[in-house]
């Protein structure tokens, strides 16, 4: 048995260290990446992936921890993947969160992992889906993906989940910020956290108003619910779980689950293909070819589109 096959077998039997090593192979773009990817395929497709996104300090980690507790009470196996798109390092920035997750440290039905993805060819779209497959193959029922950081990367992460929770909190100017980042469109469930603070009702009202502006009349369209929570006390978490279950039912019944997964699969294949082409272009042979074409373009011997066609053609016949 190969090292990879052995790791996959151990991961499937619940060995957390094997899961960790497989994710590291993915994260570090190890030469055995292809073997890992293909070895996982027979065992994936079961896990539900839930993304949590929102500004720093809004309560993502606290909510994640409360959701873990609730799912564990239902007897589900849960994984938490904390992704930091802005950091090239694992761990560092997420250390605080991991400490908070100590609550679950001794529960072997919970797997917690942080992952950095900057510096990867193809970025998030490339490494994160593989890490999700590792966790899926390891028998996780629910995978909670928490993003650290804001902006476009957040939206990208949201596109990896079956269901995306967008968190807001009163008094953070979140509504406007969220609208700017285009985050409202990716929300399947809104959580207004810190409902113990003044202004939570107003935040929920503002949000409802903003949503009503863009509301689609189509009865088949999912209307994202707004749930108020006090994550630090576990209040409203059952309602979040219920909203997630309802969204899941809708995804399956409407055929959108399959549609979303196909879009994601296409994105993933494309990202890998583009990364592969980039790599080949950087190869000695591709680099030389590019250099020659650049010389011809400067000398006005070729137009840039024809030159690009020639480059692509040369990469194909490797
Ligand atoms: N008052 C109040 N504080 C909360 C609540 N949920 C989380 N917090 C606190 O808000 C801070 C940031 O929470 P955290 O989960 O780390 O936010 P993240 O950056 O989005 O992951 C922490 O000090 C939490 O204890 C809540 O419902 N009410
Ligand atoms: Mg956090």
Q: 248 pLDDT exceeds 90?
A: yes
Most confident region among 31-40, 202-211, 285-294 by mean pLDDT: 31-40
DSSP state of 42: G
User: Rounded mean pLDDT of 38-57?
Assistant: 92
Nearest ligand, CA of residue 100? Answer: 1
Q: 107 pLDDT exceeds 80?
A: no
Is the model more confident about 116 or about 7?
A: 7
Nearest ligand, CA of residue 231? Answer: 1
Our measurement of the distance from residue 221's CA atom to the centroid of its chain's CA atoms, rounded to an integer in Å, reads 23
263-292, pLDDT tens digit by residue?
888 988 888 888 888 888 888 777 899 999
Ligand 1: distance of its center to the CA of 232 in Å? Answer: 7
The answer to whether the CB of 135 falls within 8 A of the CB of 47 is yes
Share of the chain above pLDDT 70, in %: 80
Ligand 2: distance of its center to the CA of 61 in Å? Answer: 4
SS3 228: strand
Q: 105 pLDDT exceeds 90?
A: no
> 120 burial class (0-12, 13-18, 19+ CB within 10 angstroms)?
buried
Ligand 2: distance of its center to the CA of 266 in Å? Answer: 29
Q: How confident is the model at residue 255 (pLDDT cuts 50, 70, 90)?
A: very high
- Summary mean pLDDT of the chain: 84
Q: 186 pLDDT exceeds 70?
A: yes
Nearest ligand, CA of residue 166? Answer: 1
Ligand 2: distance of its center to the CA of 70 in Å? Answer: 18
The answer to whether the CB of 302 falls within 8 A of the CB of 296 is yes
The Cα angle at residue 250 between residues 165 and 217, in degrees rounded to 5: 85
User: Rounded mean pLDDT of 33-54?
Assistant: 94
User: Rounded mean pLDDT of 61-85?
Assistant: 91
Does the beta carbon of 61 lie inside 6 Å of ligand 1?
yes
151-183, pLDDT tens digit by residue?
555 566 667 899 999 999 997 665 556 555 577
Most confident region among 44-53, 102-111, 218-227 by mean pLDDT: 44-53
> Rounded distance, CA 95 to CA 77, Å?
23
Pocket test for ligand 1, best of 51, 56, 59, 228 (most atoms within 8 A of CB): 59
301-317, pLDDT tens digit by residue?
999 999 999 998 988 75
Q: 98 pLDDT exceeds 80?
A: no
Q: Which of these, 62, 53, 83, lies nearest to 185 by C-alpha position?
A: 53
Share of the chain above pLDDT 90, in %: 53
Ligand 1: distance of its center to the CA of 170 in Å? Answer: 12
Does the beta carbon of 230 lie inside 6 Å of ligand 1?
yes
Bridge partners for 191 per DSSP: 167, 227
Q: How confident is the model at residue 99 (pLDDT cuts 50, 70, 90)?
A: very low
């Amino acid at each position: 048995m190969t090292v990879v096959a052995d790791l996959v077998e151990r991961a499937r039997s619940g060995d957390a260290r094997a899961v960790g090593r497989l994710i590291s192979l993915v994260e570090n773009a190890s030469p055995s990446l292809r073997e890992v990817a293909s070895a996982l395929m027979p065992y994936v497709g079961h896990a539900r992936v839930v993304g949590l996104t929102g500004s720093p300090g809004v309560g993502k980690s606290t909510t994640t921890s409360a959701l873990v507790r609730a799912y564990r009470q239902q007897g589900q196996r849960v994984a938490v993947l904390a992704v930091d798109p802005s950091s090239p390092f694992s761990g560092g920035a997420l250390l605080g969160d991991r400490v908070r997750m100590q609550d679950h440290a001794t529960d072997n039905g919970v797997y917690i992992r942080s992952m950095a993805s900057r510096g990867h060819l193809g970025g998030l779209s490339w490494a994160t889906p593989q890490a999700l497959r590792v966790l899926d193959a390891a028998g996780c029922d629910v995978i909670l993906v928490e993003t650290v950081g804001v902006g476009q990367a957040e939206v990208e992460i949201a596109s990896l989940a079956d269901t995306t929770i967008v968190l807001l909190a009163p008094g953070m100017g979140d509504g406007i910020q969220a609208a700017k980042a285009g985050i409202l469109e990716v929300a399947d469930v809104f959580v207004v956290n810190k409902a113990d603070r003044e202004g939570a009702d107003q935040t929920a009202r503002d949000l409802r108003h903003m949503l009503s502006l863009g509301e689609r009349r189509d009865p088949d369209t999912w209307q994202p619910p707004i749930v108020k929570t006090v994550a630090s006390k576990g209040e409203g978490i059952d309602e979040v779980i219920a909203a997630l279950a309802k969204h899941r039912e809708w995804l399956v019944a409407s055929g959108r689950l399959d549609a979303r997964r196909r879009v994601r699969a296409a994105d993933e294949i494309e990202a890998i293909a583009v990364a592969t082409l980039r790599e080949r272009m950087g190869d000695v042979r591709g680099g030389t070819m590019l250099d020659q074409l650049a010389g011809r373009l400067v000398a006005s011997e070729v137009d840039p589109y024809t030159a690009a066609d020639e480059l692509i053609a040369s990469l194909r016949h490797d």
